[in-house]
Chains A and B, each alone.
Chain A
Amino acid sequence: MSRCGPGRRDAASSVASIFCEYERSLRPCLTTSSIRLATGDHSEMSSSAAPRTPGWHRGRVASWLVTTDHKRIGILYIATALAFFVLAGVMAMLMRLQLAQEDVDLLGPDRYNELVTIHGTAMIFLVVVPILAGLGNFLVPLMIGARDVAFPRLNALSYWLFAFGGLVLMLSFFADGGAAKSGWTAYAPLSTQDPGSGQDLWILSIHILTASSLAGAINFIVTIQNMRTRGMSWTRMPLFVWTIYVFAWLLMATLPTLSAGLTMLLLDRGISIGGWEAQTHFFDAAQGGSAVLYQHAFWFFGHPEVYIMALPAFGIISEVIPVFARKPIFGYKAVAFSTVAIGFFSMLLWAHHMFTVGLPNSLNAFFMVTSMAVAVPTGVKIFNWLATLWRGNLIFETPMLFALGFLSIFTIGGLSGIYLAAFPIDWQVHDTYFVVAHLHYVILGGSMFAIFAGLYYWWPKMFGTVLDERIGKWHFWLMFIGFNVTFFPQHMLGLEGMPRRVYTYSNGEWEGYNLTSTIGSWVMGAGLLFFAWNVERTWRKGTRVGNDPWQADTLEWYATSPPPAHNFDEVPYVTSARPLYDLRRRLREKDGYRAHL
């Protein structure tokens, strides 16, 4: 196994032997020169543990196809989602090229609308949510000291549904009539009138992804609820686990509404099975239906979805900042409970996406107040993170850079949301590039930056090697600068009157900001190339590190890197939210632990 050094212990281990193991684990493992995949020895392990595993399950590829190990499934999630990230990112860069100047003739309106739709849908359903689910998969059992999730097979089903749902969406470009063209929101009646099959495949794909997310959410909830190790009470749980817990509840609460809305959409488009045809008119005004009804169904899911993408990102930040500031999180309970508060409020403010449909102003006022209310717990988090930095011993390695980048960018995204919540202002900026800027500040600059912080931070745990610092810094700075150059000018475009989702424009005044934005998108693209290079290089000849290279606080760092199939031989009794900090402190009290630092 990838354990460093020989020392195996008896089953009946004492506190002292736990110390010894942790101390040994801090030393980089120099014996293994080749890089092994996380759980690379998994097949051998499980074959000894469960002798009746068929031989073909142990193959290099086959073992990944049949795996029910939460760590491997987590890595599969992340790898698949990163592949979709590349595709959806290329779509975005093509759209930016089309908009670089007025009246460019690169993409026609139909191609452009397809890209708008699939870029948005893919980034949300195939990239951000699955990477977070992947990180959750890999980390939650390790962080709570469990051997696996509660339902490992359901977990595998959830991954494979995601992979195939994603394929359906991407392949819909080749469908009769092309991919869906009605935006990621698929507003009726535009989406019900499109004759192509792309829209049907879009609905099918989301249905599959919904099933996947529901299975995953059930798994997370049951695991976190029941499988925490000895001593890990709710208030000793890592903050990332808190956010995954709320994330899972939000998925459970809101996805059924989306499914209902999309099923109604599908039926409105008409279905024919054999010779039997049926068509409903839920959203068809000519038959007494209501187009606005669909928007309610969509946004009751759609807004919590934003927090589904944001909360685990907050969780990552809450894990990274304390470790790289060498301090405990400032106000653990405030950060944990604000997560719950955000989750709760997020289900009460969906109609702030509908301020222009002509709802009564009393209703608009209600949704303005709830939208503003959610700013309060979000602000609490920002200030708690800042206070965690205060008087710390700040170390600027790549995970920390991305976390600090997240803080500075997400603040802008959160603040521009206040304008959108004040609904008379929203009447001006709704459906313009101001909103495009706002949502990218929240999702790309927020969630995606946090995800990169998380990938750099947990890479050593996943693969036993550390991503290169120098390339990582290039990656960060190109992303950070490119991001702001791309999206900040879009605020101005929106205020000057440029609507979103237009394939071209004939207003020369918009050209400067648009060109700036396009250039920024290519800088970001270059940053991502650095990330790809970093991964490739580390894969070939990464530096091996010990089990806890950052001297972090949470249980996953107690396992070996990468962890064995069963995660832990033994889990130390958890006495606080920072079990490894406690271990280190007791070690220091005991003897010359400091010498190893």
Chain B
Amino acid sequence: MRALLVLAGLLLLAAGLAPAALGGNGGFAPVTPESPNAERIHDTWIFVSIFIVAIFVLVEVLLVTFIWRYRRQRRERFEDGPQIHGTTSIELMWTVAPVVILFLIGGFVFYKLPGIADVPRASASGEERLVVRVTGRQYYWQYEYPNGAVAIDKLRAPAGVPVRLEVTAPDEDVIHSWWIPALGGKIDAIPGVTNETWFEAKRPGTYDGQCAELCGLEHATMLASVEVLLAAEFAAWLAERGRGRASIELGEEEWRGACAKCHGLGGEGGIAPQITGSPVLADREALEEIVRNGRGEMPAVGSGWSEEQVDALIAYLRESPPSGS
């Protein structure tokens, strides 16, 4: 009787969790997908979950039932149970059944795989894909667009267009991992290797993620976000950013992404020393030297930066020098 109650309780629990799992919230399934590849991963998760939950319920119900049903009660402390040494047919059953289930799971993965891994050349409505180079660095993400536009940490992308990401890290940097949960799985940014992944966001919005491979002291603050814009807005932004002028906006992104994570938003210091009021900030040559080559424990955060990127940082620092708080 009690076993039945436990069984009923477990089933109720499973029934209660199922909507949460299907709704993709509360952490019972990957976050609500916003891109076809993430959607297919989500489907795979649901498919696998059917078997996982079934096996889980089966094992735990059997366990609880046996614990209740075969407890000692009034039998003697050391009274032997029936001396059953095994039954080949039953054992074969529980060897073969998992094999069948695993074949089903594996088959489903292969069925979904092309839709997850292959980057589409164009959207369903025929718009050609956009290619963005994503570079993971201690401790920020740099994005380079085909027209030469550069952005830091926040990736702008058009809605409804496939975006192919070429993910890498500079030779002298460490391994990072690119991951925006709503837009698909993660892919490592490895020095000397260029990996690819993609997404095609269905609608405008901002999707957050962060570096998923321990990359040093400020790994936890290496955040990334994707801001999906309507196609026209995106085109305007890209043209503006790609014009090659020292943009204050880019300078601010660089300050926040490459400098402030260690030195503090106001330059007040963090794991790195305070730099508020430092003469270096106003001295283009000194700043360029230290940013491009690093110094002491500071990594060369700006090695490989274009002249425009250095100019942008200077322009931003001239306009709003860090105030110390």
- The residues of A with any CB-CB pair to B shorter than 8 Å are 108-110, 113, 116, 181-183, 187, 189-190, 193, 195, 284-286, 289-292, 325-328, 330-334, 356-358, 361, 365, 368-369, 372-373, 375-376, 379-380, 382-384, 386-387, 389-396, 404, 407-408, 411-412, 415-416, 418-419, 422-432, 489, 491-497, 499-505, 507, 513, 551, 597
Contacts and interface: CB of A to CB of B under 8 A. Distances in A.
B208 A497 contact: yes
Contacts of A284: 171
Contacts of A386: 59, 62-63, 66
Interface string B130-169: 0000000000000000000000000000000000000000
Contacts of A429: 30
Scoring B62, B77, B214 by chain A CB atoms within 10 A of each residue's CB, the highest score goes to B214
A376 B187 CA distance: 29
A391 B98 contact: no
Given A109-B220, A375-B102, A597-B78, A493 B212 contact: no
B307 interface: no
Question: 10 closest A-B pairs (Cβ-Cβ)?
Answer: A427-B185, A492-B27, A285-B192, A331-B86, A502-B220, A358-B195, A285-B191, A286-B171, A392-B81, A109-B217
Interface string B265-287: 00000010000000000000000
B63 A408 contact: yes
Contact of A392 (B31, B52, B70, B220): B70
B271 to A, nearest CB: 6
Interface in B205-263: 208-221
A181 to B, nearest CB: 8
A356 B56 CA distance: 28
Contact of B86 (A332, A358, A391, A597): A332
Contacts, number: 269
A496 B26 CA distance: 8
5 contacts: A183-B214, A286-B191, A358-B188, A418-B102, A419-B52
A334 B219 contact: no
B190 A393 contact: no
Given A393-B80, A422-B105, A427-B41, A492 B26 contact: yes
Contacts of A326: 78-81
B181 interface: yes
Interface string B72-85: 10011111111111
Scoring B181, B209, B297 by chain A CB atoms within 10 A of each residue's CB, the highest score goes to B181
Contacts of A430: 177, 185-186, 212
A190 B29 contact: no
B63 A376 contact: no
B56 A393 contact: no
Interface of B: 26-31, 38, 40-41, 44-45, 48, 51-52, 55-56, 59-60, 62-63, 66-67, 70-72, 75-87, 90-91, 94-95, 98-99, 102, 105-106, 109-110, 112-113, 116-117, 171-175, 177, 179, 181, 184-188, 190-193, 195-196, 208-221, 271, 297
A440 B98 CA distance: 24
Contacts of B26: 492
B174 A189 contact: yes
B109 A423 contact: yes
Scoring B71, B80, B83, B221 by chain A CB atoms within 10 A of each residue's CB, the highest score goes to B80
Nearest to B45: A425
B318 to A, nearest CB: 29
B82 A391 contact: yes
B81 to A, nearest CB: 4
Contacts of B102: 372-373, 375-376, 418
A502 B218 CA distance: 8
Nearest to B116: A424
Contacts of B209: 497
Given A290-B192, A327-B83, A380 B95 contact: yes
Contacts of A292: 190, 193
B174 A387 contact: no
Nearest to B112: A424
Nearest to B59: A411
Contacts of A502: 210, 219-220
A503 B220 contact: yes
A390 B94 CA distance: 15
B215 A190 contact: yes
Nearest to A491: B27
Contacts of B212: 356, 430-432, 499
A408 B117 CA distance: 36
A362 to B, nearest CB: 11
Contacts of B112: 424
B66 A390 contact: yes
A503 B221 CA distance: 9
A389 B70 contact: yes
Contact of B60 (A391, A411, A492, A501): A411
Nearest to B191: A285
A345 to B, nearest CB: 13
A356 B218 CA distance: 21
Contact of B99 (A376, A419, A426): A376
A394 B66 CA distance: 9
Contact of A504 (B98, B187, B191, B220): B220
B51 to A, nearest CB: 8
Contacts of A375: 98, 102
B91 A334 contact: yes
Scoring B60, B195, B209, B220 by chain A CB atoms within 10 A of each residue's CB, the highest score goes to B220
Given A190-B175, A499-B179, A379 B184 contact: no
Given A389-B67, A492-B28, A376 B95 contact: yes
A109 B271 contact: yes
B190 A357 contact: yes
Contacts of A289: 192
A358 B75 contact: no
A369 B106 CA distance: 7
A390 B215 CA distance: 50
A380 B92 CA distance: 9
Contact of A393 (B28, B81, B191): B81
A425 to B, nearest CB: 6
Nearest to B109: A422
A350 to B, nearest CB: 16
Contacts of A325: 70, 81
Contacts of B79: 326, 393
